[in-house]
């Protein structure tokens, strides 16, 4: 290892001071146990870590914020990138260069003075790079598409230890295609350049109902009908959350089964468009309003504290009468009578998300994404997640990489259509034949039929 250590390079081994702290992240349900940690400050540090792993034949995992843990670090090399946190905005070009450890809140803050915004997700603490490599389903997704659709270039260290600058027009253009949607399978991205959108304000928020007063299935049916009437530029989701009765929660949420519709829209007629939703029943809370984009994280108000969780997803071809009834069964399995706390979210897809783009983001024909997350990682809790998602299997065309939460996932099954999977496997054989880079799946192995 001495060949890979320099005085300014931070390398930690089990038992070293700071080793356990370096492993800590947002996900607390699964333990990281690498043989060595490279705490990267630069692309050169990343390249050294990959070269060491290749020389020793060890798997490589990468962690920025720890929202999604890399299984590959078990007994291998973990590269932490949280120190690589530089953001540089080019207001004239409407772009931002984002290093591997950057969180979305940093990009939002950097872009705001120029009246620009990134295509970030609902949680400001999520790492921007890993989110984008998994596709990136943002709060304005139906208007602008996936975040991956707006990437201009990537800097990536491949398994040979080489740092490459890849673009749609570079010699590595096929690698550019595969990294965007292929996740962490082909290398370690140290920096990317993303396009920003000219959005300073939006109309958004949440309309919440008490699920013990208003039938959650009725809210879902109304939501499904409503989505058929809205313009492509309006992005929304349905959620069902049985909150525990604990003092840490606001009084209006404590012990309630909250069913809500969340909205984000840059048009001028937001109030008119959401009016039908207010007729569903008595409202528990209503936060729909005009807001600066910097406040967009309040639309979903995702938890910002580390915790244990597991989850999976299903991309649906539609949400017609029969599919909506099946989701009603899913809600019964995950509601307040379930043995653990389950969160269900249904994202309305389509719009710009359906437009073909030169990247590996799959299932663009999907019309809804169902996500089920449980606040625990034991086997019964995980099995109920998959049992719940099985209710919508007749309408399921795949799964979403960014929403396969937790370690020990179900390999690559359903993550890609067969053509995309075959193309990614070809790239894997070229750029990572020894399979150094792994997550909960491996694109070099055919998924189960």
- CB of 409 closer than 8 Å to CB of 440: yes
Residue 63 DSSP SS3? strand
- What pLDDT, on a 0 to 100 scale, did the predictor assign at position 412? 78
Query: Could you give the CA distance from residue 128 to residue 100 in angstroms, rounded to a whole number?
Result: 8
- What pLDDT, on a 0 to 100 scale, did the predictor assign at position 448? 46
- What pLDDT, on a 0 to 100 scale, did the predictor assign at position 405? 80
- What pLDDT, on a 0 to 100 scale, did the predictor assign at position 31? 83
Query: Could you give the CA distance from residue 173 to residue 410 in angstroms, rounded to a whole number?
Result: 29
| Phi, then psi, of 199 in degrees rounded to 5 | -125, 120
Rg of the chain over Cα atoms, rounded to whole angstroms, equals 21
Query: Could you give the CA distance from residue 139 to residue 438 in angstroms, rounded to a whole number?
Result: 28
DSSP string computed for 224-271:
HHHHTTS-TT-EEEEEEEE----TTS-TTTTT-EEEEEEEEE-SS-HH
Query: Could you give the CA distance from residue 245 to residue 298 in angstroms, rounded to a whole number?
Result: 22
Give CA separation, 233 vs 24, 37, 204, 275, 303, in Å: 38, 43, 12, 17, 27
Kind plus residue range of the DSSP H or E element containing 190: strand 188-195
Per-residue pLDDT of the chain (449 residues; tens, 9 = 90+): 655 566 667 999 999 999 999 999 999 888 889 999 999 999 999 999 999 999 999 999 999 998 887 665 778 999 999 999 999 999 999 999 999 999 999 999 999 999 999 999 999 999 999 999 999 999 999 999 999 999 999 999 999 999 999 999 999 999 999 999 998 899 999 999 999 999 999 999 999 999 999 999 999 999 999 999 999 999 999 999 999 888 877 888 889 999 999 999 999 999 999 999 999 999 999 999 999 999 999 999 998 889 999 999 999 999 999 999 999 999 999 999 999 999 999 999 999 999 999 999 999 999 999 999 999 899 999 999 999 999 999 999 999 999 988 655 556 789 999 999 999 999 999 999 999 997 656 665 555 43
Query: Could you give the CA distance from residue 271 to residue 263 in angstroms, rounded to a whole number?
Result: 11
- The number of CA neighbours under 13 Å toward the Cβ of 128 is 29
Query: Could you give the CA distance from residue 151 to residue 132 in angstroms, rounded to a whole number?
Result: 8
- CB of 104 closer than 8 Å to CB of 77: no
Query: Could you give the CA distance from residue 412 to residue 425 in angstroms, rounded to a whole number?
Result: 11
Cα dihedral 301, 302, 303, 305 sign: negative
- How many other CB atoms sit within 10 Å of the CB of residue 292? 12
Query: Could you give the CA distance from residue 153 to residue 192 in angstroms, rounded to a whole number?
Result: 6
3-state helix, strand, coil in the chain (%, to 5): 30, 25, 45
- How many other CB atoms sit within 10 Å of the CB of residue 191? 20
pTM: 0.95
- What pLDDT, on a 0 to 100 scale, did the predictor assign at position 111? 98
């Amino acid at each position: 290892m001495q060949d890979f250590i320099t005085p300014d390079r931070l390398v930690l081994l089990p038992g070293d001071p700071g080793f356990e702290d370096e492993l800590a992240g947002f996900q607390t349900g699964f333990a990281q146990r690498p043989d060595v940690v490279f705490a990267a400050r630069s692309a050169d540090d990343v390249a050294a870590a990959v070269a060491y792993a290749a020389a020793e034949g060890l798997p490589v995992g990468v962690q920025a914020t720890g929202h999604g843990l890399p299984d590959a670090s078990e007994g291998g090399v973990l590269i932490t990138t949280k120190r690589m946190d530089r953001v540089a905005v080019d207001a004239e070009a409407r772009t931002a260069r984002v290093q591997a450890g950057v969180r979305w809140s940093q990009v939002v803050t950097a872009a705001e003075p120029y009246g620009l915004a990134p295509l970030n997700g609902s949680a400001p603490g999520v790492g921007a790079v890993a989110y984008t490599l998994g596709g990136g389903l943002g709060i304005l997704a139906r208007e602008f598409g996936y975040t991956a659709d707006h990437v201009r270039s990537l800097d990536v260290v491949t398994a040979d230890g080489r740092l490459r600058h890849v673009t749609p027009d570079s010699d590595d253009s096929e690698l550019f295609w595969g990294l965007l949607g292929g996740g962490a399978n082909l290398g370690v991205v140290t920096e990317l350049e993303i396009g920003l959108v000219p959005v300073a304000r939006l109309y958004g928020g949440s309309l919440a109902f008490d699920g013990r007063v208003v039938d959650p299935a009725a809210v879902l049916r109304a939501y499904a009908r409503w989505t058929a009437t809205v313009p492509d530029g309006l992005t929304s989701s349905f959620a069902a959350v049985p909150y525990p009765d604990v003092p840490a929660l606001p009084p209006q949420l404590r012990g309630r089964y909250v069913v809500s519709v969340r909205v984000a829209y840059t048009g001028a007629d937001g109030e008119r468009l959401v009016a039908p939703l207010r007729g569903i029943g008595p409202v528990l809370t209503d936060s729909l309003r005009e807001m600066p984009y910097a406040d967009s994280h309040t639309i979903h108000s995702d938890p910002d504290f580390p915790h244990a969780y597991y989850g999976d997803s299903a991309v649906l071809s539609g949400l017609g009468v029969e599919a909506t009834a099946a989701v009603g069964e899913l809600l019964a399995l995950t509601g307040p009578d379930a043995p653990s706390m389950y969160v269900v979210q249904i994202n309305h897809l389509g719009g710009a998300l359906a437009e073909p783009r030169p990247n590996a983001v799959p299932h663009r024909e999907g019309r809804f994404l169902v996500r089920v997350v449980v606040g625990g990682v034991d086997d019964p809790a995980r099995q109920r997640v998959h049992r719940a998602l099985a209710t919508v299997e007749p309408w399921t065309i795949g799964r979403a990489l960014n929403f396969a939460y937790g370690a020990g996932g179900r390999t690559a099954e359903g993550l890609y259509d067969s053509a995309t999977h075959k193309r990614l496997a070809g790239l894997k054989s070229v750029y990572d034949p020894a399979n150094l880079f792994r997550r909960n799946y491996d694109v070099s192995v055919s998924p189960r039929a």
